Amino acid sequence: MTNQKEIEQYYNKFDEDHRLTTRHGLVEFTTTMKFIVKFAEEVRLARAARCEFALDNPQNNKDEKIKILDVGAGTGRYSTALLEKGYDVTAVELVKRNLEVLRSKGTMVKTWQGNAMDLSFLESRSFDVTLLLGPMYHLISMEEKAKAFREAIRVTKNDGYIILGYVMNDYSVVKYCFGENKVSECLENGSLTKDFKTVASPNDLYSYMTFDQINILNDMAGARRVKMFAPDGPADYMRKELNAMDETAFNHFLDYVYSICERPDLMGASSHIVDIVEKASVEDYR
């Protein structure tokens, strides 16, 4: 079982608000935001189209704000940015300190302290887009991940989207096992298998995923993939180089990552993957 106390202690020390403002963090943030907005606007357009065919139905209000739920919102980097773009945003965060930072920003983001695996304080089918961009990093077992996933599906409208972030297996193998010369130790203690798959224990802060595991998780939760992309591409391997770039070169790098982020031959090497899904069978959730 995931160690909630360890997570809280980690984020009490870690400057989460700063991470996505670093050069490598901005690559991840900028790319991910483009996709969040793209799919939020798809919901808006679909709603407007439906309204054109049901103008006499007062419940079909095409001017109603798109509602976004940010589960595992951290200090609100995505929540506040999405609010500024005009969306109705609700944030759920486990760590009290992160939530205090978010609330101190004085925004109109609605906030709750809560666990991704239990969103019982939120009504079913309430949100157009639900973000799970942090919880899957820290939930260890597939059962825990599936529980959080199903909760996200429950609170999302039938025509909405769930957007999930994962930290990738091979990024951990390359950067930690080999990059820090820990591979022999990891093989010996069982945290790395002979075919180089990471094995997370309940005491670990992160669990790393393969594409096969993400596909299994989608099946467990009852979700169908719409799109998958790598939000940071090679950025996490190029931190020094990114910091040395002038602004023009860095902006070209942002464009480059966005242009390659859906290429299957490159995605697995990224530090993160984002999976955009919808309910596999809408009829099951009516």
Q: Where are the alpha helices (DSSP H) in 53-182?
A: 77-84, 96-104, 135-138, 142-155, 169-172
Is there a single domain that holds both residue 173 and residue 66?
Answer: no
CA dist 207 to 75, 116, 137, 151, Å?
A: 21, 16, 6, 20
The pLDDT score that the predictor gives to residue 14 is: 60
The pLDDT score that the predictor gives to residue 13 is: 60
Is there a single domain that holds both residue 120 and residue 64?
Answer: yes
Residue 133 located in a structural domain = yes
The pLDDT score that the predictor gives to residue 7 is: 67
Is there a single domain that holds both residue 181 and residue 87?
Answer: no
Say how many domains are in the chain: 2
CB 69 within 8 A of CB 90: yes
Is there a single domain that holds both residue 103 and residue 184?
Answer: no
Domain that holds residue 216: 4-165+209-278
Is there a single domain that holds both residue 257 and residue 192?
Answer: no
Tokens of 24: 């490598």
Residue 283 located in a structural domain = no
CA dist 36 to 42, 139, 243, Å?
A: 10, 23, 26
Is there a single domain that holds both residue 152 and residue 113?
Answer: yes
Residue 18 located in a structural domain = yes
Is there a single domain that holds both residue 159 and residue 175?
Answer: no
The pLDDT score that the predictor gives to residue 61 is: 56
Closest by CA position to 110, among listed 120, 121, 125, 97: 121
- Could you list the pLDDT tens digit for every one of the 286 residues in the chain? 566 666 666 666 666 667 778 999 999 999 999 999 999 999 999 888 877 555 555 555 556 899 999 999 999 999 999 999 999 999 999 999 999 999 999 889 999 999 999 999 999 999 999 999 999 999 999 999 999 999 999 999 999 999 999 999 999 999 999 999 999 999 999 999 999 999 998 888 899 999 999 999 999 999 999 999 999 999 999 999 999 999 999 999 999 999 999 999 999 889 999 999 999 865 444 4
Distance linking the first and last C-alpha atoms of the chain: 31
**158 in helix, strand or coil?**
strand
Residue 227 located in a structural domain = yes
Q: What is the DSSP string of 209-273?
A: B-HHHHHHHHHHHTEEEEEEE-SSTTGGG-HHHHHHS-HHHHHHHHHHHHHHTT-HHHHTTSSEE
Is there a single domain that holds both residue 160 and residue 174?
Answer: no
Helix pair 23-52, 77-84: axis angle to 10 deg: 50
Tokens 């403002």 belong to 21
**Domain CATH code at residue 33:** 3.40.50.150
pTM of the model: 0.90
Strand pairing report for 127-132 and 67-71: parallel
The pLDDT score that the predictor gives to residue 286 is: 40
Is there a single domain that holds both residue 174 and residue 43?
Answer: no
Question: Using only C-alpha atoms, what is the Rg of the chain?
Answer: 19
Separation of alpha carbons 279 and 276, rounded Å? 11
Residue 285 located in a structural domain = no
Separation of alpha carbons 234 and 253, rounded Å? 10
Residue 284 located in a structural domain = no
